[in-house]
Structure 1
Amino acid sequence: MQWGNPCKFFPTTPLSVYQSPELFEKLHLDTLFFIFYYQPGTYQQHLAAKELKKKSWKYHKKYTTWLLPDFNTIKILNEQVEHGTYVSFDYVSTWSKQLKKNFSFEYIHLEDEITI
């Protein structure tokens, strides 16, 4: 029995649903982080970042990681820095959330606009 080339049956373009912000609203945090870190420069990365921001996560440009502030502990020290406890997403070694106490977030490192 001979088999034909299965490649002709594979999709050649992403499904349009993967361009939909509504889909990204339903995705789990791990999925959003995966898309953000493993699809760089794509519209999907932009949508993942946008959704993470909607969930109050902040992207730290210097450490290239996402941080979620514990709003009960955050103190704005001045126009450039806030200080407190954050949940950090460690995408390099553990792919998990870790608590960062007494962390100073300098606004100069805050990503305001994720570009693609």
Structure 2
Amino acid sequence: DAFGGAASSSSSNSSDKKSSDKASPSDRGPGVLLGGVVHRDAAVNLRLLESSYRNLPQPGDGVWTRRRRERPPAPTPASYPAREPPVLENPALFERLDADALFFTFYYQQGTSQQYLAARELKRANWRFHKKHATWFARQEEPKRSTEEYEQGSYIYFDFAMSGGPGGDGSKGGGAPGGWCQRSKADFMFEYSQLESEMQ
């Protein structure tokens, strides 16, 4: 009947309106889920995208670098020298230092001119720096075997850390316990690619 038809039509229109209201949020475009809330405002989404872009991971983020720690300032008396004595910049001083003093300067004055001068004197004394082990080596005798890529024989090396030195396979950890002393290593293969040649 007419009443029933009107009621049916009204019910249908009401149902269509509700379904339209439910569907309207999805018609506004994709949203961004943040904190359990879906943000569909274009301005909010743009700010979120800009923030994400500014914080993109960089290729170097996974690379750890060894940064030098600056010592905190400490109160000192007026009689304490405020700068290094000029004699420490004199190359003639390093020519008179023994090997232990040169090793100490090299490992504990990193990034300074004193480190460079100590390295130069060690090289003049026939010590050679191994880049992989970060250790100074010197021949004990003429190499038993020598090629264009490496030489092999008996060496002495300076164990600067409180641990064992290079192992028989070229890795660390094969030496005796202790440290800060010269040790002997027989049948060691010194690859020329690991030789530091920049220090003159």
Residue 14 of structure 1 aligns with which residue? 84
Could you tell me how far apart the structure 1 residues matched to 2:150 and 2:122 are? Answer: 21
One-letter code aligned to 2:160 = Y
Could you tell me how far apart the structure 1 residues matched to 2:82 and 2:76 are? Answer: 13
Per-residue deviation, 1:7 = 2.2
Q: Could you say which structure has the higher strand fraction?
A: 1
One-letter code aligned to 2:109 = Q
Instruction: Classify the secondary structure of the residue corresponding to 2:111.
Output: coil
Residue 11 of structure 2 aligns with which residue? none
Q: Count residues in correspondence.
A: 110
Identity %: 43
Residue 99 of structure 2 aligns with which residue? 29
Deviations 1:52-109 (A, max 9, x none): 0010000000000000112x33145211101111001001021111001000100110
Could you tell me how far apart the structure 2 residues matched to 1:76 and 1:17 are? Answer: 43
Residues 40, 6 of structure 1: alpha-carbon distance in 2 compared, 3 angstrom cutoff: closer
Does 1:95 find its partner at 2:180?
Answer: yes
One-letter code aligned to 1:103 = F
| Structure 2: tracts of 5 or more residues without a match | 1-74, 163-178
Per-residue deviation, 1:6 = 5.7
Aligned mate of 1:81, from 150, 158, 176: 150
Instruction: Classify the secondary structure of the residue corresponding to 2:78.
Output: helix
Q: Could you say which structure has the higher helix fraction?
A: 2
Does 1:51 find its partner at 2:134?
Answer: no
Per-residue deviation, 1:24 = 0.4
Could you tell me how far apart the structure 2 residues matched to 1:75 and 1:56 are? Answer: 18
Residues 14, 85 of structure 1: alpha-carbon distance in 2 compared, 3 angstrom cutoff: same
Residue 107 of structure 1 aligns with which residue? 192
| Structure 1: tracts of 5 or more residues without a match | none
Length-normalised TM-score, structure 1: 0.88
Which 4+ stretches in 1 moved above 4 angstroms?
none
* Larger CA Rg, structure 1 vs 2: 2
Deviations 1:22-64 (A, max 9, x none): 1001111111000000110000000000000010000000000
Instruction: Classify the secondary structure of the residue corresponding to 2:77.
Output: helix
Of the two structures, which has the highest relative contact order with CA contacts closer than 8 Å and spacing of 6 or more?
1
Length-normalised TM-score, structure 2: 0.52
